[in-house]
Amino acid sequence: MKLERVPRDRSEQEKERLQAQKTYWQDVNRRMVSLRDSARQLYSFQNPFNDRIITSSDASVLTGSAVRQTAPQTKEFTVKQIAQADRFLSLPVDDSFTVEAGVYTFDSGPEHISFDFKGGSLKDFADALNRRGKGKIEASFVMVQSGKKSLLIESKITGGENNLIFSDAALDLALKSGILEQRSNVRDIPITLIGVGDAIQDASLSVVDNDSLKVSATGNASIAFPDNTVVNQGLTIFFETAVKVLPTEPPPKAEAPPGPSVPKTGSVTFNGIVIDSAPSSVPIPEWKPPEPPERIDDMNMLSLTFSDGTSIELAPIEDVPDFTRVSFQIPDSEIGKIVVSFNIVNKNTHRDVSIRRVQIMDPSDPVNYKPVNPVSVAQDAVVSMDGINVSRATNTIDDLLPGITITAKKPSDTPVRIAVEADRETIKNAIISFVGNYNRVMAEINVLTRNDDRIVQELSYLSEEEQEAMRNRMGAFAGDSTLTQYKNAAQNAVTMPYPTATGTEMLAKYGIGTDMRMSGGSSGYDPSRLRGYLEIDEKKLDEALEMNLAGLQQLFGFDSNGDLIIDSGVAYTLESLTRPYVETGGLIVIRTATIDSRIKADEQRIAALDKQLAEKEAALRIQYNQMENAYNRMEQMSNSLENFSRQNSNGGR
């Protein structure tokens, strides 16, 4: 049967050889697909040359990102404040503090949370709020001291208009635990001067002392109002004034000024005779004493200035020495304007005016409670770009500059410069990936088409197991014109010149070529440099990425005829060359399909031979059994004859 199995064993060996060839073709196909994809990446619409990154001079203050094809640019930003959400901490309460049953309602901007709590500890309440808060409103508690804890309720929605509002039982809890306290709609205005006098006035005429502003005679000053002081119906200003009348002293008696001093005239001497000239004379006008200084009495000293540049005068103040409370309701004609300053212009020549306890009352203010211990309060992010202030409800601003998103991290008085640049690191990695995939394809083809162990030894980046696997496939496709033609065409594609906007260029100009040895290095014969592998001069490539990025991009893919379609370049040519080999119905698919047919034929032949061998073995086993039975019968007959002969011999005695 061993002899009978020889044709079957040969068919099995042929099948294994074909399966190995199929695996080799699949490996080549996989390498070529990687090369095609990396080549296409370098010139397609999604090529990395259009990727953008943003560098920040201080990433702890401001960071950013940019979409593809954003124009390179540089901008300066100053983060004046970051967007925050309301975070309110209660006063310390005992561990035994219980939250009563009720309907607890919270609002923060568009978020509305309302749930029925059955009563329990602070932890029970915090867990209930967190389950229903949807990650927008959360609660926790802090152990501030032994046996004491504080409840922290916070909104996750930033922005000045997204205040955290407590309603129903939540308001009672906030007041009971010391999160909120009732507040008045009257606000104190701190005396902060934004203007003192003018260029010709002594600034010492306006002095702030003990929260009181004193404006001396002929002085003037302006008090700043908060930025959000909008005139609503019934907005009223309160303040206290006091006027000190200075003593009136008679002016000193005026005396006529002395006349001019006229020097004596000269004289002439002639022959001992002295002749004096006539004395000089100066006509002096009649002197009239000056009028006494004018006394100015003007109690219209106060006014308000609005952000649009307009102003209104307040009623005259009383001429009393003690502080007197005064109120002034802004007319409805000024509704909607923003008050920027409270002005005192003292034109009096003999009165000093003092102002203190400036307040505003806004009857339309709906907020009747204020946080006792706010960890942070809701506010917008305020960023200055080129001197222009912009505000947003979040710290991530994506509608200020086209294609650019900036994120404010913390306030800073120092301007932060951000620059939109090409993502050179990504471009470099894409080029390195392209070169690596190209070299792996060349290595695969060299090993399969050559039976030379030096080719494997040159692939120093392979592990010992990978090198051994390469040796097992050496020369498997020796003489195969398909791979040889592809190799020659690919080598030509990466070494030939291509048109660009500035002329014809080659990859070697940018540090990519088949022999990129540094000047001064060894120039002797090196067989590995004749295999078609690409090398990278990293320093030269980095210079190209920094100085001539557009030229490098056009070398990989270029529209040579202006029809907005890439039709030239290294990557375009290599992708076009590789596509027929790896696409559906391509050359490699045809090869593997042919091998599959041959494997299938061998499998059918092996199956037929296995059947024939089984039949042959069965027939031989039958013949063997027949022969063995005949042999056993003959042996039995021989034994019988021998016994008969022995018996006859004994009977003849």
- What mean pLDDT value characterizes the chain? 87
Second CATH level (architecture) for the domain 187-248+294-361: Sandwich (2.60)
Residue 69 falls in which region: left (phi positive, over 0), alpha (psi -120 to 50) or beta:
left
Q: Is 555 helix (H, G, I), strand (E, B) or coil?
A: helix
One-letter identity of residue 622: I
CA–CA separation, 353 vs 324, rounded Å? 12
pLDDT over 70 percentage in the chain: 95
Residue-wise pLDDT tens digits, 5-51: 888 888 888 888 888 888 989 999 999 999 999 999 999 988 999 99
CA–CA separation, 124 vs 115, rounded Å? 13
Does residue 19 contact residue 550 with C-beta atoms inside 8 Å?
no
Per-residue confidence (pLDDT) for residue 525, from 0 to 100: 45
The Cβ of residue 383 has, within 10 Å, a number of other Cβ atoms equal to: 25
Positive or negative, the CA dihedral 34, 40, 43, 49 is negative
One-letter identity of residue 396: T
Pair of tokens at residue 391: 């505000």
Does residue 42 contact residue 411 with C-beta atoms inside 8 Å?
no
Q: Is 220 helix (H, G, I), strand (E, B) or coil?
A: strand
User: Residue 47, CB half-sphere, CA atoms under 13 Å: how many?
Assistant: 22
Q: Judge whether residue 568 has pLDDT over 90.
A: yes
Q: Which residues of 557-572 are buried (b: 16+ CB within 10 A; e: fewer)?
A: bbbeeeeeebebbbbb
Maximal CA-CA distance, the chain: 226
**Could you give the residue ranges of the DSSP H alpha helices within 418-532?**
424-449, 453-458, 464-472, 481-495
Give the mean model confidence (pLDDT) for residues 188-199: 73
Q: Judge whether residue 108 has pLDDT over 60.
A: yes
Residue 532 falls in which region: left (phi positive, over 0), alpha (psi -120 to 50) or beta:
left
Per-residue confidence (pLDDT) for residue 251, from 0 to 100: 67
Q: Judge whether residue 451 has pLDDT over 50.
A: yes
C-alpha pair distances (Å), 464 with each of 30, 351, 451, 459, 467: 21, 101, 18, 10, 5
Q: Judge whether residue 71 has pLDDT over 80.
A: yes
CA angle 244, 245, 246 (to 5 degrees): 110
Per-residue confidence (pLDDT) for residue 175, from 0 to 100: 93
Residue-wise pLDDT tens digits, 109-123: 899 999 999 999 999
Q: Judge whether residue 521 has pLDDT over 50.
A: no
One-letter identity of residue 224: A
One-letter identity of residue 245: V
Token pair 């203190």 in the structure block, residue: 356
Q: Which residues contact 225 (CB under 8 A, 6 or more apart)?
A: 189, 339, 340, 341, 342, 360
Q: Judge whether residue 520 has pLDDT over 60.
A: no
Q: Is the pTM of this model over 0.75?
A: no
Residue-wise pLDDT tens digits, 468-507: 888 888 888 887 888 999 999 999 999 999 999 989 999 9
CA 488, chain centre distance (Å) = 45
Mode of pairing for the β-strands spanning 381-385 and 388-392? antiparallel
pLDDT confidence bin for 422, thresholds 50/70/90: very high
Give the mean model confidence (pLDDT) for residues 186-200: 72
